[in-house]
Each structure stands twice: as structure tokens, then as C-alpha cells.
Chains A and B, each alone.
Chain A
């Protein structure tokens, strides 16, 4: 069966190949395809890692973007032609990709000592690169007085009328809905683990449903805010930080920020596995890793890199103690179990 599918796909690939003009191919040895989440985040990786690495090693890095579509990787693997060499994944995709056999089990002897990384970020198939956070952001030009200060305010359309942007996925949103409904952050997953809790979360989301604009790619959140489509939005904190650097008057609400990690992984079937390890080793070096925070407000995962961050920058990172006070750690075991069902429910809810 898989075999048939492979045949069909390779047949298609062959068919298209005939139509394509001859492009001179660089030898596979000195080219590395790195796939990440686009926008300001990928820009920061380019400056912190890709450009220095290309300069130092003489390797050509080809960049691609994705929005977490591991299905593409599955199709490439089935067709026996995996063109991705290094993949930036968040926690959910790191676990799912590992479970599906899409990501290599990492050989840490080729990267660095495990104990030098924050313990949460050392996974079988992925090694932590940065900490990022899903936060609430608003346009300070709209709210000159009385700006939103808590997650509760996201759900308060009487006090803060106007559209709000949210990520078009259940995770993160259901937690915030329960928090806004009075559940404490320690109990969120106990409540969400029950049918009544899920009901309660969706009921809370119901109260703002008609006011929500849903975003799917990380770059969309600051865009929606910038072109006035929404007055506040959930976003990845670094994307907002970069919009501020570009002159936008956006503010971050750190209340109940949802902490997550981005990690490096290697797709099973890559033809450049040695180079992929070499790149990850390079990017995990504390000196190189500490560079990324200059270009985006994300925090390093290597303990030695944390000390190298400029204190001025550190204040804007999700891991800064002041920002961490009410932070929620997303529960990935819970989501591995319930993502499919809750997403089904979420999609049905959206379509109603």
C-alpha cells in the first residue's frame, strides 16, 4: 500500500521533472535545507545562525518555511525523497514527529552534554533552541488609558470592545478560557481533563466567538494588529517585540503567558545527516545561541548562554522572573492524548 503510494508520488515527480528546465544542482554535500516558522523568527535565525554558519563553513543554507505541517514530511518520507535536513519544531510537533517516526532520535554525543540544556528541552528527537511564549498583545494607540493587563480582559468585550485575534488551534485558547473563567493555573489541566471542563472552556470562548479573527501563521498576528483588523491578539512574544522595533506601539501583557519551546530536529531520511548534526551543534553553542536574543525576544535554552544575555534585552524575554510570575507551562502529555479529539471539537465549534 505504502509502496503503491510511493510509486504514484514518484511517478508524479518524474512527470513534473520532465517539464522543468535543467537547473544546475549544487552537490548535496555543501547544501543544507533548514525549515522554520518564517517571518521575524526565521529572520533572527538567519542573522544568528545561518549567515555565520555559511561564512564559517562554506555551506549553502537553503531556507524553507512551514506552519507545522508535518504531513508534508510524511509525504516526502513515503515518497522516499526527504528534502528537509534540519527542522525547527515546537514542543507539540517535536513529540508528534518523534512518535510518528518522522524525526531522527538524536545522538547527543554529536551535539553536546545534555545537562547543559534546560531539562524540559532535552527530548529524544529534538534539542531545545529557544523559549518563546504565547502572550496577549494590544495596540497602545487604541488603549491610551486603561489598557488590558490580564487574560481576563481578552474575554471582556464590554470593557474592551473590538475584534481580537487568536490562534486557530485549541491549545492555549482553552487554557486561557478556563483561567478567565476563574480556574487557577495549577488546576487548568485537571479541569480540562474532564468533559465538564471542556464544556466550560468552550462556553467561555463562546462569549467572544463573534469577535474573534483567527490566525494561523505567526506573522499574521502582528499584521492583524498593525492594519487595525484587531485591537488585541494572542501572539508569539518575539513577533510583537520585532514589530515594536519596527516602530509599532504594541504592548505585551505577560499575565498567564504560555511558555513553549522551539527545538531543532532532524527529519528521518535526510541525505545530509552529518551536516545537520554539525549545524545543530553550531547553533547549540552558547556563544552562538546567545546571539539570537539580539534579533528576537526569545530566550536561550543552554544554561551557559543565559548568562551571556544583555540585561537590557533579558527584561523582554519570556523567562525573565518578572514575566514568569503567572506563566502557564503547557502540558504536552495532555495535548498528545487529547489534541486530535479537542481539535475535532474545536473545528466543529468554529464551523457552527
Chain B
């Protein structure tokens, strides 16, 4: 005992075993890190970093940052309900003059116009007026230019956008807005996004359930057939999987049209045409078709690993065919079902092109509005807030799912 403690065990070249082991361990770790590093860098650069940038965009007043500092200071002590004093008007005038010289005045006007409709033209005309003025008083000029300038609501918006950060985009994303007395619900005519989120999750849920109902029996068939037959069947599953998403969606567009082949068939058989294109029905059918392999394949690969002897053993012990399937076979497929359904559900949340092509206006999902705000309105802040919201809800769901099912129980094969 004493000898072993005083004499560390040496390897053949005289280095203590412990050191040698630590070295081997270190070089193994380095290799592992080296192998993972490119992917890690890639994920950080193309995934995490843009998410952080977008998160910032959703809370920043990018259009007005550093451009309304004087106004912001002048409005610091304003009560929020009366018409501001000359100092505030003068500060705004100076800020606008400076912005005009730098060709940034319209960006400010647009930002304010998105919260206060009609501000655009008033800002433009007043900017032109004050640009020619050497000094004040400015209040007169503003008030005589348009009565909008005596509206405290406009000034509240000006004060709010002159800050660096804004809650506006996030509030809009949940159909709220800042009223005179704190938060209030957006008017019915403008509230839209809570519905859109509910719809997105509903469609994703329905498609997930449908792919499971359709995919599970097929996966079972594939897993239990002899190899030569299973391979041919597999081709039928995989072939659409290898076709581009856009091509498949367009194919559905052609099939579902009111003058399309499906309706021609319906006309022949039941003498009636059905409304299928630009409907929720069409959207769900097309999405289910596209998502089917994503649900099916994980289930199939898990089924392949279940030895047939388990069910045979259950049968030989007296279980009926359904009982044996339900008690012995099915529980073993659950990890595959969990993986397939989660994959399909999360992919469905981000669908854009399929609902845009075969759905109606009531079937558009969150991504449609993200694209809409990016491309058409050039309101990156709103697009970012909508996208971040979807990401957060998805992550909360993933967390809940993990608590209920357990991610470690999930198997892709």
C-alpha cells in the first residue's frame, strides 16, 4: 500500500501514467474541438449572430437614433397632455433642419407616420418651412402650418420615437399599443397578429396530426415488408421528398384549381366543382403532402430497430393481435413519433411559400407577415419583432415538450 502511494506508476518511457493519460485526454479534446469548431463558427456567424442583430432591430428606433436628441431633451419634462412650449418646437425645428441637410428628414417622418398616420405630409411641409428660417420663434410657424401640431397625441409619439429604444414593435406584435393612459388593446380593425399566431400553430398542429395518421401505417408497412418490396415502396415515399418544395407546391396549385384536373374529375362524378384553391383545405393538403416524409422517416427508422420477436413473444404468452401491438410494439415506436412530430411541427411553423401560393388571405402564417414587413413596408423592426416572437414561442413549446416527453427519449433512428 505505502509503496504504491509513494511510487507513482510509470509508463514505459518513464512518464507517470497520470500525466500521460492527461496528455492523451487533452489531445483528444483538442481534436474534438478542432472538428467541431468550423461548424460552431458557422452556426455563430450565420445563425446566432443574425438572431442577436434582429433582436436589437426589434427594440431600436433605428430611423431616429441620434437624430432627435435635442427634441428628446426638450420633452423630458413635458406633461404629455398639453401643447409643448416654444423650447420643444425649437428643438424639433433644429433637429429637422439638421436632418434635412443630411437627407434623413423623411426617415424620421416615416417612422412617426407609422405610429401617427398623416404625419408624413405635415412633417415634410413644416421641414421645408423651418429649413429657410434662421431663428425662432418656431411654435407659431408649426401651429399655423397645420393644426396637427397642437395634438398632444402626436407629441407623445415624437417623444416616444426620440428615445433609443421602443416597445412599439413588440406591442404591435401582440396587438397592443401605448394609449394616453398606459397600454391598451389595438382597435378591432387593426388587431391581427394574435389571430395570425393562433392560426400558425393551429395549421402546424393539424398538419402534424395528419402526417402522423397517414405516415404511421405506411412506416409500419415499410418496416415489416421484406427488403426488396420495402425498397420499392420506399422509393414512392422518397421521390416527392427529393423534389423541390416550390415544384410540389406549384403542382398542388395546378391540381386544386377550379378548372384543374381534380375539379374536372369531381364534375364528371358528382357534377359539381369544389372550391379548393386559395382555401385552408388546400393549404393543409399541400403542407401535409410536403411534410409526410419528415414525420414518416424517423418513425420508420425506429420501427426497423424493434425486433419482431417482441410481438411474437407477446402473442405466444396469450396477447391478442391488437393487445400485442398496442402494449408491446407501439410504446417502442413513441421515440420515433416524438421526433417526427416535433420535426414536422417546427418546420410547419415557418411555412411561407405554400400558404402564399395555395392559401387564401385567411390562411397566411407568421412568415408571410415577416416577409411583408421586410419587403413591402421596409419596416425591419416590425419584421424582427414578429420573427423573434415566433422564435420565443417555439422555444417555450420545445421546453414544454422536453418536460413532457423528454428530448433524450427522442430518436431519429
Contacts and interface: CB of A to CB of B under 8 A. Distances in A.
A207 interface: no
B259 A228 contact: yes
A160 B195 CA distance: 33
Contacts, number: 109
A57 interface: no
Nearest to B254: A227
B145 interface: no
Task: Select the residue from A15, A68, A71, A96 with max chain B CB neighbours within 10 A.
Answer: A71
B257 A100 contact: no
A115 to B, nearest CB: 23
- Interface residue tally on A, bucketed by range: 35 or more
A79 to B, nearest CB: 12
B39 interface: no
A227 B192 contact: no
Nearest to A199: B189
A72 interface: yes
Contacts of B277: 229
Contact of A345 (B110, B190, B374): B190
Q: Size class of B's contact patch?
A: 35 or more
B6 interface: no
A224 to B, nearest CB: 10
Interface in A303-348: 333, 336-338, 340-345, 347-348
A336 B121 contact: yes
Interface in B85-111: 103-104, 106-107, 109-110
B309 interface: no
Given A5-B53, A99-B110, A340-B117, A348 B378 contact: no
Interface stretch (B55-63, B229-237, B286-294): B55-63
Nearest to A230: B258
Contacts of A228: 258-259
B45 interface: yes
A275 B306 CA distance: 68
Contact of B117 (A69, A99, A341): A341
Interface string A48-76: 00000000000000000000111110110
B257 A227 contact: yes
B106 A337 contact: no
A83 B9 CA distance: 68
B118 A8 contact: no
A339 B313 CA distance: 70
A338 B117 contact: yes
B376 A337 contact: no
A194 to B, nearest CB: 12
Contact of B46 (A15, A214, A341): A15
Contacts of A214: 360-361
Nearest to A350: B361
5 contacts: A98-B106, A100-B110, A347-B369, A349-B189, A352-B195
Task: Give 7 nearest A-B pairs by CB, closest first.
Answer: A99-B106, A69-B375, A350-B361, A341-B117, A71-B375, A348-B192, A228-B259
